[in-house]
Amino acid sequence: MAMHFAFVSIPAHGHVNPTLPLVAELVRRGHRVTFFTAADFEPQIRNAGADFQASGVNWLASLPALGPGQRTQAHLMLPLMNEVFENLRSSFPALVDRLRQDPPDAVCFDAMTLSGGMAAEKIGAPAIALMPTYATNEHFSLRKLMPAPPPEGADDMAKVAMAMGRLVAEFAAEQGVRTPRMFDGPPAPFNIVFLPREFQPMGETFDDRFRFVGPSVSGRDDGGGWAREGTGPLLFISLGTTPLNNRPDFFRMCLEAFGGSEWEVAMAVGEQAGPAGFGAVAPNVRIRPFFPQLQVLREADVFITHAGMNSTMEALYFAVPMLAVPQQPEQAATARRLEELGLGRQVAAEDVTPEVLRAGADGLRADAEVRRKVAAMSEIVRSAGGAAAAADAIEAHVRHGAGRFGAVG
């Protein structure tokens, strides 16, 4: 029996992209998918076969640019959080109206979105959380991995978090629904996690409310042509797509570290920096705003990365060791996880120098033990099931186990 699924996501590549192979798989099986997010993502969502509905604005475009090693400050985050909340307040009624006009068999929502779970409860539909990063249950929270804020800013950040929590709780009460759970337990009665259980901290504590399916990368076209030009080892460098990771100084250190070396370098500098700002570049280095990441990772020997979860999973899929240079707290947690599992090494953003980068990349290339562990994790990632396993789990949950919006424990 064909079903209708509504997908709701925050407007971020690292949250939308992991869901697109699942969307395509559901459509391939004859189901209908309606995807709600900001208009920036319409082309790729339609390419996956879903109907697109614009919902809210891309508030991520307002993220402040930070300097190297600089933590997010309360005075910068408060306006952003206010914008997130105002976006929720203005877009939520339209989201609920559209869902009522075209009722889904389930609402599949990004675990970081505030609106998805509330909308599912509001219309009485089964709620399924989609988790592109670490899952949370009664035994483990992402908060445990986060570094403590610096003492001089801890009180201000705590006040910002409390203010945002209060606003969301008041809004949920106005709507007659429960306050979304993001860090203190499962966000939904059933949860799809785009990681293998083996990468999840305390993975053994997660019960059958969670299905760990790993990433889905095969068959996804990054777009854009790319072909190798050199014959040396291939080094891929990227800090992801968010404006928070705009680091021209970091990329200049990479040019100093690897320009004229035996490495063939593909360096994605993002739209904010742009290749033109780096002047003359050594012949062994190619700079673009973005590279087709999957194509490059298929052939890369080492990946210098911010350790965003989407990039991390893709690198592990292709068995590429990582030198992690995290830019944000969650990325720092993943960098530590990589080092803990022997899958790479990490360097704090404030400790980066050309010499450190060069030594890190050369060391990973020569480290047989790291390569052995990365190859083993690659097998785990590839066997986790991906989009097909996620679609199987969602179909079974809706057909056989889901009542309407249930308790989350």
pLDDT digits 0-9 by tens, 153-189? 556 656 767 877 788 889 889 999 998 876 677 899 9
Residue located via tokens 């610096």: 150
Take residue 16 and report the two structure tokens written for it.
């939308």
CA distances from 228 to 160, 171, 305, 322 (A): 47, 52, 20, 20
Residue 408 has pLDDT above 50, yes or no: no
Whether residue 407 is contained in a domain is answered as no
pLDDT at position 69: 44
Same domain, 327 and 284: yes
Q: For residue 234, which phi and psi values (nearest 5 degrees)?
A: -95, 125
> How large is the average pLDDT for residues 228-250?
84
Show the tokens assigned to 187: 């966000």
**Tokens coding 227:** 């072909």
Residue 156 and residue 124 in one domain: yes
C-alpha 107: how far from chain center: 20
What pLDDT is stored for residue 74 in this prediction?
47
> Among 58-72, 165-179, 198-212, 272-286, which range has the highest average pLDDT?
198-212
pLDDT of 77 higher than 70: no
**Cα within 13 Å of Cα(160), Cβ side:** 19
Mean pLDDT of 65-90: 63
**Is the predicted pLDDT of residue 197 greater than 50, yes or no?**
yes
The residues, any chain, with a CB within 8 Å of residue 58's CB and separated by 6 or more, are: 11, 38, 39, 40
**Considering just the CA atoms, what is the radius of gyration of the chain in Å?**
21
In a domain, 408, yes or no: no
Angle between helices 386-396 and 20-28 (to 10 degrees): 60
> Given pLDDT bands bounded at 50, 70 and 90, which one contains residue 195?
very high
Name 162's Cβ contacts closer than 8 Å, sequence gap at least 6. none
Length of the chain: 409
Residue 225 lies inside a defined structural domain of this protein: no
Shared domain for 349 and 397, answered yes or no, is no
In a domain, 79, yes or no: yes
- Give me the pLDDT at residue 294, please: 93
Confidence of residue 243 (pLDDT cuts 50, 70, 90): low
Whether residue 61 is predicted with pLDDT greater than 90 in this model: the reply is: no
Question: Can you give the pLDDT at residue 329?
Answer: 83
With H, G, I as helix, E, B as strand and everything else as coil, classify residue 199.
coil
Does pLDDT of 104 surpass 70? yes
d(CA 85, CA 65): 21
User: What does the alpha-carbon distance between residue 327 and residue 307 come to, in Å, rounded to a whole number?
Assistant: 8
Task: Give the total number of structural domains in the chain.
Answer: 2
Cβ atoms of 347 and 326 closer than 8 Å: no
Tell me what pLDDT residue 84 has.
76
Note the pLDDT of residue 185.
78
Query: Rounded distance, CA 36 to CA 42, Å?
Result: 9
Tell me, yes or no, whether 186 and 259 share the same domain.
Answer: no
Q: Is the pLDDT of residue 407 over 60?
A: no
Measured CA angle at 391 (ends 131, 333), to 5 deg: 20
Give residue 279's pLDDT band: very low, low, confident or very high (50, 70, 90). Answer: confident
Mark whether 164 and 89 lie in a shared domain. yes
Structural domain contains residue 229 = no
Q: Are residues 150 and 45 in the same domain?
A: yes
CB 198 within 8 A of CB 383: no
Note whether residue 335 is domain-resident: yes
CA pair distance 196, 384, nearest whole angstrom = 6
Name residues whose C-beta falls within 8 Å of residue 165's C-beta, 6 or more positions apart in sequence: none
Instruction: Tell me the mean pLDDT in the region 377-383.
Output: 97
Q: Region 343-354: what's the mean pLDDT?
A: 95
Same domain, 240 and 292: yes
Start-to-end CA span in the chain (Å): 30
| The dihedral formed by the CA atoms of 368, 370, 372 and 376, expressed in degrees to the nearest 10 | -170
Are 69 and 87 within 8 A, CB to CB?
A: no
242 and 172 share a domain?
no
294 assigned to some structural domain: yes
Q: Residue 323 to residues 187, 282, 288, 316: CA-CA distances in angstroms?
A: 32, 22, 20, 12
Does the pLDDT at position 327 exceed 90? no
44 and 185 in a single domain? The answer is yes
Containing structural domain, residue 369:
234-382
If asked whether residues 175 and 300 sit together in one domain, one would say: no
The answer to whether residue 224 is domain-embedded is no
Global model pTM greater than 0.85: yes
Q: What is the CATH number of the domain that holds 327?
A: 3.40.50.2000
Torsion sign over Cα 353, 295, 21, 137: negative
Least confident interval from 235-249, 309-323, 368-382, 393-407: 393-407
Using CA atoms, how far apart are residues 187 and 209, in angstroms rounded to an integer?
10
- Report whether pLDDT(41) > 90: yes
Report residue 234's pLDDT band, with 50, 70 and 90 as the boundaries.
Answer: very high
If asked whether residues 43 and 137 sit together in one domain, one would say: yes
For the chain, percent of residues with pLDDT exceeding 70: 84
How far apart are the C-alpha atoms of 201 and 138, rounded to whole Å?
13
Q: What is the mean pLDDT of the chain?
A: 87
Q: Give the mean pLDDT of 246-270.
A: 93
Q: Name residue, tokens 């990771």.
A: 245
Q: Is the same domain home to 73 and 210?
A: yes
The band of 337, judged by pLDDT with boundaries at 50, 70 and 90, is: very high
Q: Which residues contact 318 (CB under 8 A, 6 or more apart)?
A: 217, 294, 297, 298, 300, 378
Give the C-alpha distances (Å, rounded to integers) separating 268 from 81, 229, 287, 292, 303.
29, 16, 6, 9, 11
